[in-house]
Chains A and B, each alone.
Chain A
């Protein structure tokens, strides 16, 4: 009887010992698996880059020069009101129009000319208050292009156009119809 009890106690201790080993083993397994999982998931943690790709975008800009005159027609009329007794010269001015330009090409200026080869009277033009560049001296318009605005560089801007019509009393009466051309060109 005592021997049997002794055997039972031995078996119980044996089972307890192996059970404890099993628990310890399972804990190790769990620890290893958790560590591995943490390493895997850690790879997708905050700031992790998943992928990248690129392409090329080319921006090309042509040489562009554009000009515009604000109004199509300017009328200058010299009448008796412009005459001064004893003076041969009569003048009239107009500041109602503007010239606008834009150029992205370096070293540019603006010239002015008329298509009228033999006008009866004199027509002059001057750039007033240009936003870019410098006004050339007043131009007496002819069929030869003359500097009107210089050193505009690569810019866009505007300037007022001051036209002056000049007639001499001795020139009599008549009318000149000018087509005035402004050109952005190489300085």
Chain B
């Protein structure tokens, strides 16, 4: 009977220890965001070529910051833009951890598409940043924002186990 009481005590201690470890783990997760993306962007197309197309615009002013996880991970991208008229693409460049996927064409309602893959496991648990290279383009036949409105994309980046 004494052993059972001692065993129960041991179970309690070990469980508390494990809970403490779990709490520490999740506290770290909350304190250190797994993924963050820079502020909003506006891209303006203002010129074109007669007999050709409008001149595309590139923006590389924003970064995507992420951390290694407990398992090999990847980052996906998707967008919501219900009244999309024009073309928007995004590519990860200067990727410190993982491999950049090919340039993704952002289309309203698209499934989450690979953006950075094969992100190694931690350690280290330090924040890493890659550059977001957005390219906006349009054809003459796609119209203009005054008649058709702007395209406002809500671009979502998700880091998940691969």
What is the interface of chain A, defined by CB distance below 8 A to chain B?
A: 18, 21-22, 25-26, 28-29, 32-33, 36-37, 40, 44-64, 66-68, 100-106, 153-158
Question: How many whole Å from A62's CB to the nearest CB in chain B?
Answer: 5
What is the interface of chain B, defined by CB distance below 8 A to chain A?
A: 3-4, 6-7, 10-11, 14-15, 18, 22, 25, 29, 33-54, 62, 66, 69-71, 73, 85-86, 88, 106, 134, 136, 138-147, 150-162
Asked whether, in the complex, the Cβ of A63 is within 8 Å of the Cβ of B146, the reply is yes
Asked whether, in the complex, the Cβ of A61 is within 8 Å of the Cβ of B159, the reply is no
Bound CA–CA A49/B76 (angstroms)? 11
Asked whether, in the complex, the Cβ of B46 is within 8 Å of the Cβ of A101, the reply is no
Asked whether, in the complex, the Cβ of A102 is within 8 Å of the Cβ of B51, the reply is yes
Which partner residue on chain A sits nearest B90 by CB separation?
A57
Asked whether, in the complex, the Cβ of A54 is within 8 Å of the Cβ of B156, the reply is yes
Asked whether, in the complex, the Cβ of B3 is within 8 Å of the Cβ of A55, the reply is no
Which partner residue on chain B sits nearest A37 by CB separation?
B18
Query: Which one of A29, A37, A57, A67 lies within 8 Å of B153 (CB-CB)?
Result: A57
Asked whether, in the complex, the Cβ of A56 is within 8 Å of the Cβ of B44, the reply is no
Query: Which one of A21, A46, A61 lies within 8 Å of B71 (CB-CB)?
Result: A46
Question: How many whole Å from A127's CB to the nearest CB in chain B?
Answer: 14
Question: How many whole Å from A56's CB to the nearest CB in chain B?
Answer: 4
Question: How many whole Å from B144's CB to the nearest CB in chain A?
Answer: 5
Given A32-B11, A51-B34: A57 and B40 interface contact (C-beta under 8 Å) = yes
Across chains A and B, the number of contacting residue pairs, with CB separation under 8 Å, is: 203
Asked whether, in the complex, the Cβ of A50 is within 8 Å of the Cβ of B34, the reply is yes
Given known contacts A55-B37, A63-B146, A155-B141, what 8 new A-B pairs fall within 8 Å (CB)?
A25-B6, A51-B33, A52-B157, A57-B88, A58-B42, A104-B140, A156-B139, A156-B141
Asked whether, in the complex, the Cβ of B155 is within 8 Å of the Cβ of A57, the reply is yes
Q: Which residues of the other chain, B, contact A102 by a CB distance below 8 angstroms?
A: 48-54, 140
Q: Which residues of the other chain, A, contact B66 by a CB distance below 8 angstroms?
A: 51
Query: Which one of B3, B7, B25, B50 lies within 8 Å of A101 (CB-CB)?
Result: B50
Asked whether, in the complex, the Cβ of B10 is within 8 Å of the Cβ of A29, the reply is yes
Asked whether, in the complex, the Cβ of A56 is within 8 Å of the Cβ of B161, the reply is no
Question: How many whole Å from A72's CB to the nearest CB in chain B?
Answer: 15
Asked whether, in the complex, the Cβ of A64 is within 8 Å of the Cβ of B144, the reply is yes
Bound CA–CA A45/B14 (angstroms)? 23
